[in-house]
A = this chain, B = another copy of it.
């Protein structure tokens, strides 16, 4: 797999919702059953979503000449009423979560009506299109784990860092019990907040555990971004960071932080089962590529591997990774179906993931391949990926 090419592909995909946007008109008349989105700020009636998955945005801008809704790589013109309020619809969107923004006379701004999420290298608007399977990440009256904001000093970075740690329901009650740990990474242009804020990793786990479908384990969500904060700036299409390629820190830099700082800190701070058999790593997009590289190089440290929309592991990889075949108990690979459609057959992300996972299965490795129906390189694919992956972890 040519890593540089794949990496650029992932970057472009990650930011494409904003960067490839073009003006467009809606394709037909909307069904008038719009309701306020679940991702709206408290009390806000817009944006709305209808049964087709169209988004209707609205904002007061009485002096503006042009206002647009920018979602899924398309800009939709809004129209102004006599009171100065601009309103307009998008075409139907895929189920799940999408980043979006508004354009007001050439300024790209967050929608003041939405909640904000970190992705596409910025805190900005996001919207939830109700999905047929949304029950698996719904907030229910079941026992809940906690998301803990955890500050720690990293020697390898000589700085304070932050991670979020999910402790499962019962963690504070069963004070002699020790738990396996999943290290779960975000994608390029995202950060340590993504898996809980828009990924709902905590609710997915709470619901799976309540149904007896997954074992309780700890999840650690840290920041795998490969550029130092002082170097960070919003990504644009075709961006390539200065310096050597792939950039230092992309996988190797985070690997050092993970192995030398994060894992020992977590094992010292929580009641973990601190061995290879009870340690998993997974990630989406860039985080999946980091997972692939770090786990192939450290089969003595991780027993369960999950790669969501971030490549796959081939038999050639396995042959070049001594101990991987013998020690790793699970390889899980997933994609959104639209990601596979949108690439040349047989060559998505440097190797057909189905061919690769089949070859691992044939070689006797416990391998799973999952395709999320009708979703792209977006959070609904990754929520579903975690939902399929988690029940397979840490089986006796």
Interface set of A (CB-CB < 8 Å, partner B): 41-44, 59-67, 84, 101-102, 104-110, 112, 115-116, 121-124, 139-141, 144, 146-153, 160, 172, 175, 191, 196, 202, 229-234, 269-270
Contacts and interface: CB of A to CB of B under 8 A. Distances in A.
Residue of A105, A116, A140 most packed against chain B (CB within 10 A): A105
Q: Count the copies.
A: 2
B141 A160 contact: yes
Given A112-B108, A160-B141, A270 B172 contact: yes
A165 B45 CA distance: 30
A105 B234 contact: no
Given A139-B151, A148-B147, A160-B141, A105 B102 contact: no
A232 B63 contact: no
Contact of A110 (B110, B196, B269): B110
A43 B229 contact: yes
A232 B121 CA distance: 31
A243 to B, nearest CB: 16
A42 B108 CA distance: 17
A104 to B, nearest CB: 5
Nearest to A230: B43
19 contacts: A41-B122, A42-B232, A43-B121, A43-B233, A59-B107, A59-B109, A61-B104, A63-B65, A63-B66, A64-B106, A64-B107, A65-B65, A65-B105, A105-B105, A107-B112, A110-B112, A139-B160, A146-B149, A147-B148
Nearest to A59: B107
A348 B109 CA distance: 39
A161 B345 CA distance: 47
A110 B107 contact: no
A149 B147 contact: yes
A62 B105 CA distance: 7
A62 B84 CA distance: 20
A61 B146 contact: no
Given A60-B107, A62-B105, A109-B112, 19 more contacts: A42-B121, A42-B229, A43-B231, A43-B232, A43-B234, A59-B107, A60-B108, A61-B104, A63-B66, A63-B105, A102-B109, A105-B105, A107-B109, A112-B122, A139-B151, A140-B160, A144-B150, A148-B148, A148-B149
A62 B121 CA distance: 22
Contacts of A139: 151, 160
A231 B43 CA distance: 7
A63 B104 CA distance: 8
